[in-house]
Structure 1
């Protein structure tokens, strides 16, 4: 171990758990030979050392799965690279189902595994019992067997990673606590430690349980909180010989495997126990929390039911170790919005060992190359609303997140804690209309209206089916109001506003005031950072509309590219309400409400008017394929405008109706069809980019165009009205997987379930395919372009 801290290091990694060790290793592999790791105590002394260290490859998205597959490959070859045994045991995993919905859930996972190239197969209860003879299988309905899953020794993996990193020049400093982080003009400059100060260009913050507090040293929000996590260890018992597969009994909140001839029985109980900040201080090294048998007792009863042999087993200990959780159950990876050069690799939600290899590689890649190796938008460090950094909200939410670890992935499922954090201007009106709310970036948004009781969670036709059908009918036959107020809004003002946006946006932002411009925002690779609409209000003033959850990320991106331009960027999201008035009666309604001039507006034009005597700015456009306007007004005027529109006959409609109509129209959305791995060409949006270039990503886009890149997004209409696609289902053509669905809904105007999807094999318009929904194949038709009103005459009015 090096004794003296260097005066400078290109990158300082803080934290010696799996994420810190993996990040240091990958930085060294990528040529950052002067990177150093600072650990307050000893390697793995926080959470990593007591991890159950399961490595299960399948996750809900292709890239998260790809990331864990990288971990598997890395762990299996580290021993050869370093001579250090990492304890890799590959005995597979068995996921059992004891109720019909869980069986659908695991079969959906099996279908997903096939799409991602993972070996997984359904087995009968009898076969499941053969693989786990100690199991009581009387109530098992079915199971899925995944032979490639395994586990490792966490401390040995970290030792191997550090050994390899040191061999490449990186250095480790244990017993070196961070006492402060130095910043200047919003960017990282150095780290103050108990052993001296190190100046640096970037920090990888991999501090696990303490990440929120360490992030605060650099002025960054890191919403993560520790919860207690339990597993039982027994002394050797009869019937355990050698290593067993991991048994996942998620209906009983359990995971089970062998441990030293005995059993390890772990749980993710329905509501965990949070650990208030400050309770685990700097002296918490290889520490555990007190046993809590009262809390564990319901899980113990479940375990005794599943494993009768436990009744006579001798308990070694009930291990209670802290794990950190985020507000949505996914880790945080990448650069913070608040502080340039501060990169997060934390909030691992109890899957740190499985994720660590691939997540550390991606974090190192982000530091060295400015972006992750592939799109990991769902783990973006900038995705949380500031309100989620509140200790009060984290103390409420983190225990629920622990409990959702083994949830059934029902469509429409919502979290119940830390709710009602941000209310829309029309919140009271919507609740009076029976709105069922969903939480997005802290906002409560109506999903549908007319709710009379809480909807049941099901994979069958949902309780809200008829409600949404009525909302779509209102938009299609008369008029509906869709609330777009939570969309982020950025005011771009100043003499260089046009030049700045021509540089940062791929669309033609030079149109005259009064224009609305749809544009992609690309990175140097020509792939999506965002997609937005811009309203040009004046020569020196644009208003950008960005995704609800994208405001923090997009504002940071624009600000970091504004150097050299005389512009001011302001977040005006909460200043304005936006109501989408859509449908064939919209023209009559605005005229009756005092704004007949809006009927003279051309498509993709924006202009001022007064509705109910209140000033508004209306843009002629449509996200749902029916004619209308997106009407912006001061938030305090929303109630008066809404009252006038509804009195004239418009009906409120929720997000479920909007999504159904969007998919029927073939409109792509960020996080579904659009992400950091896809280009406008591959998503059919190249028409909205400037072929002359001059914008970020233009060169990469031109190269893709010249190399023959094509649109890979297709519309899909399923034959069976009762099919329930949810997204990520494999698409089969002539017996081979050729792609996946990305957005799915029931298409009420089409009369069938509908989807958008990506195909890696070109398919002709009208091609017949099959969609794998929980291992049942449903016939469907591929359509190039929208399924509804393909020439767009309805929405143009």
Structure 2
């Protein structure tokens, strides 16, 4: 398939990397009408990571978006031969996943509920029923299993060549044995590539270079945080009873999977402690169709588990040991999208052992992003902008990847925290929180207090699906916030200054709400895309005639800045400056928050002098801080924006002055519970590029009553006129027994109606509470009468519990507490 002709001097799009991802992007670009495509491969097609992939195609993923992406892959793979004459080697053989423990079985029951929410066939099995699907396995130690009939397998190399042929049939050029030496740019925009066979001018460059993608990205100053790890599987000699239609078997408690191959079994897995390979900057070249040395000692944990599950392996030989390096990302999600550092430089890389399953859908999604200039679906979880430059540190990546590979088959515990390469980013008062018994979670690298343990007790999480060990401590923090005063370290907030003569004009276009407010006022607002769905959920405070402070969630710093810069009105004198690390933020929340702050300041904090939404610079102890009267917990409170150098002193003053008032320290688990009782939304869960303000119940934060245009306004007005097909509601479980974590299936009158976007224990309401989008089975408009007329249940591990549903906040629906 190599091209003997000289390289073209230009192309509309150049794709770097001829593995399954690069060929999928080429295939889908040409399907979308971009036929002037050149794909460059330094070796031969599929010769990097693709050729030694196991080829498993499991459809069910943690989110509906990723499930749909893989579903599209399977449809495509089944159709490729008819289109191209080349088979992808795809076979729908089904999949069995077994459970050795009750905790694992609880996960599988929750998985089955997810499948029901996504309208994907999934069946719970007893161990005896599992044996009927997979007769060669041992089952006497199993608790149960699930059966996913839509699972399948593909031949990675055949799939790559079929996609490549499809792209060539529509005009793309595939050029092998050609190495990219540099990516050419000018003024922060891609201009082409330099290869060992000459230069190609291009408007678009797509980096699908697999484990080389970090090196390629560095050519334009972009950050693609991934690191290779050694990844193992073996192929056995033929085994009696193993045939081509045998399902895929996954035994996650034993870290292993099994796939039929030529009458034998491919036996691989995801060991708990992986072996990172060389630094991303030191991957050898050439490295074509190569493997690393066998390491039977490291593979032993997988082999012992395989011998337990498939007894026939005790007397079966091994034909081949595969140790192929593969790239993994810090959060076990792949990387897709346009790099914020360089325009028209796109990335599809870091597929964490799911490249074959996701290649079709990911290739289509990236091609649509390229053609449309923005994602056409919610890709937040895999968006390249979820990472910051500091995530590209190779030493940090090396240590993190050792943990990431094993996550594939670890029980996905609620609130599971990574343990490697930490602590990472620390607020100025981290040491004070640590000394006070904080348990720390991580968000965008920030170490954040989840909860504070009682004196003398270890601040650890004993992971469980049921009531967790830390709940009494978090519940106490909730009670303190509702009845007294609690101080939260919220330094991890993303913070930007929007400054310039046209700052107001720019923000009026970017924001749904009217931000033309007096200096010292804060506004809650969304930022949308052209489709009228959410790109951010922020507060904007006017700090001067030509300056605003924008505060956003911790995880979205890079995507927020990129969104703002891309959608600034042309020619506007307005600039965004990231001041996240310049300020600590302390939330002082609760009915006694005014009493506490008044001990430290002479500023008038009365409701008449300092009403809700007011933001002022005030003296506080010896420091001078910005105090904004706002809340994410539904109580009287202030957020204090403190210059980093004053943070320790201010925090110490707050705790000392608050001692006579019974001040408590609070963590993010308490914030989550408190905000859910109030029905406050969170970006990434209730708000994403899949939801619009009509569905989310946030039309009040849209300036539709004015004639002021904003990005996405036309789409919001259409959505309002058509009526929502989904509606966000709050819910409360009728009994205090079941523990909810988010993602649970919601039923209306016995039929699937949605999933919990978020859920947690609500101490004030005395049961678990949450938020969920409800939808009608027939796709009809979902109005208030429809919501109120239903009878609702939530599935918790397969057990149904009655819930009450509300369109108003469950706690203090009139908002009297906030007004203080």
How far did 1:710 drift?
Answer: 6.8
How far did 1:790 drift?
Answer: 0.4
Instruction: Please say if residues 385 and 442 of structure 1, whose CA atoms lie closer than 8 Å, have aligned partners that are also in contact.
Output: no
Partner of 1:167: 169
Mapped partners of 1:334, 1:385: distance in 2:
14
Partner of 1:784: 807
Partner of 1:603: 612
Secondary structure of the corresponding residue to residue 385 of structure 2: coil
How far did 1:694 drift?
Answer: 1.3
1:715 to 699, 724, 730: 730
Partner of 1:622: 631
Mapped partners of 1:37, 1:696: distance in 2:
35
Mapped partners of 1:320, 1:796: distance in 2:
62
Mapped partners of 1:363, 1:456: distance in 2:
39
1:284 to 270, 282, 287: 287
Q: Does 1:586 align with 2:599?
A: no
CA deviation string 1:199-244 (max 9, x = no partner): 1111111111111111001110100011011011111122223331
Q: 1:656 to 1:212 in 2, by over 3 A?
A: same
Q: Does 1:523 align with 2:536?
A: no
Partner of 2:582: 575
Instruction: Please say if residues 244 and 261 of structure 2, whose CA atoms lie closer than 8 Å, have aligned partners that are also in contact.
Output: no
Secondary structure of the corresponding residue to residue 132 of structure 2: helix
How far did 1:766 drift?
Answer: 7.1
CA deviation string 1:429-467 (max 9, x = no partner): 100110000011111000001262222111110011100
Partner of 1:492: 498
2:671 to 654, 658, 668: 658
Mapped partners of 1:279, 1:287: distance in 2:
16
Mapped partners of 1:712, 1:700: distance in 2:
17
How far did 1:386 drift?
Answer: 2.0
Q: Does 1:387 align with 2:390?
A: yes
Q: Please show how residues 246-395 of structure 1 align to structure 2 within 5 Å.
A: 246-277=248-279, 278-395=281-398
How far did 1:547 drift?
Answer: 1.2
CA deviation string 1:445-500 (max 9, x = no partner): 00001262222111110011100011011111110112221111111111111111
Q: Does 1:177 align with 2:179?
A: yes
CA deviation string 1:491-530 (max 9, x = no partner): 1111111111111111111111111011111111111111
Partner of 2:792: 769
CA deviation string 1:86-119 (max 9, x = no partner): 1111110000000110000111111101111111
Secondary structure of the corresponding residue to residue 69 of structure 2: helix
CA deviation string 1:727-752 (max 9, x = no partner): 22221112211111101001111111
Partner of 2:779: none
Instruction: Please say if residues 766 and 781 of structure 1, whose CA atoms lie closer than 8 Å, have aligned partners that are also in contact.
Output: no
Mapped partners of 1:547, 1:80: distance in 2:
47
Structure 1: unaligned runs, 5 residues or longer? none
How far did 1:64 drift?
Answer: 0.5
1:23 to 16, 22, 25: 25
How far did 1:155 drift?
Answer: 1.0
Q: Please show how residues 374-773 of structure 1 align to structure 2 within 5 Å.
A: 374-450=377-453, 452-453=457-458, 454-562=460-568, 563-599=570-606, 600-649=609-658, 650-691=663-704, 692-709=707-724, 712-761=727-776, 762=782, 763-765=786-788, 767-773=790-796
How far did 1:83 drift?
Answer: 1.6
Instruction: Please say if residues 749 and 790 of structure 2, whose CA atoms lie closer than 8 Å, have aligned partners that are also in contact.
Output: no
How far did 1:161 drift?
Answer: 0.9
Q: 1:33 to 1:661 in 2, by over 3 A?
A: same
Mapped partners of 1:272, 1:13: distance in 2:
30
Secondary structure of the corresponding residue to residue 709 of structure 1: coil
The worse-fitting range, judged by mean Cα deviation, of 693-702 and 186-195 is 693-702
How far did 1:4 drift?
Answer: 2.3
How far did 1:280 drift?
Answer: 3.0
The worse-fitting range, judged by mean Cα deviation, of 2-11 and 684-693 is 2-11
Instruction: Please say if residues 681 and 710 of structure 1, whose CA atoms lie closer than 8 Å, have aligned partners that are also in contact.
Output: no
CA deviation string 1:610-635 (max 9, x = no partner): 11121011111111001011111101
Mapped partners of 1:409, 1:332: distance in 2:
21
Q: Does 1:210 align with 2:212?
A: yes
Mapped partners of 2:790, 2:656: distance in 1:
46
Mapped partners of 2:483, 2:214: distance in 1:
51
- Length, aligned pairs only: 797
Instruction: Compute the TM-score of the two structures, normalised by the length of structure 1.
Output: 0.98
The worse-fitting range, judged by mean Cα deviation, of 442-451 and 757-766 is 757-766
Instruction: Please say if residues 516 and 536 of structure 1, whose CA atoms lie closer than 8 Å, have aligned partners that are also in contact.
Output: yes
Mapped partners of 2:35, 2:574: distance in 1:
39
1:74 to 63, 67, 76: 76
Instruction: Please say if residues 682 and 711 of structure 1, whose CA atoms lie closer than 8 Å, have aligned partners that are also in contact.
Output: yes
Structure 2: unaligned runs, 5 residues or longer? 777-781
The worse-fitting range, judged by mean Cα deviation, of 640-649 and 160-169 is 640-649
Mapped partners of 1:688, 1:711: distance in 2:
18
Secondary structure of the corresponding residue to residue 801 of structure 2: strand
How far did 1:711 drift?
Answer: 6.5
Mapped partners of 1:86, 1:711: distance in 2:
38
How far did 1:653 drift?
Answer: 0.3
How far did 1:596 drift?
Answer: 4.0
Secondary structure of the corresponding residue to residue 91 of structure 2: coil
Partner of 1:147: 149
How far did 1:648 drift?
Answer: 2.4
Partner of 2:135: 133
Partner of 1:238: 240
Secondary structure of the corresponding residue to residue 685 of structure 2: coil
Mapped partners of 1:196, 1:796: distance in 2:
67
Instruction: Please say if residues 766 and 783 of structure 1, whose CA atoms lie closer than 8 Å, have aligned partners that are also in contact.
Output: no
Instruction: Compute the TM-score of the two structures, normalised by the length of structure 2.
Output: 0.96
How far did 1:249 drift?
Answer: 0.4
Instruction: Please say if residues 503 and 546 of structure 2, whose CA atoms lie closer than 8 Å, have aligned partners that are also in contact.
Output: yes
Mapped partners of 2:787, 2:793: distance in 1:
14
Mapped partners of 1:764, 1:571: distance in 2:
42
Secondary structure of the corresponding residue to residue 648 of structure 1: helix
How far did 1:346 drift?
Answer: 0.3
How far did 1:279 drift?
Answer: 4.7
Q: Does 1:123 align with 2:125?
A: yes
Secondary structure of the corresponding residue to residue 757 of structure 1: strand
Instruction: Please say if residues 516 and 606 of structure 1, whose CA atoms lie closer than 8 Å, have aligned partners that are also in contact.
Output: yes
Secondary structure of the corresponding residue to residue 382 of structure 1: helix
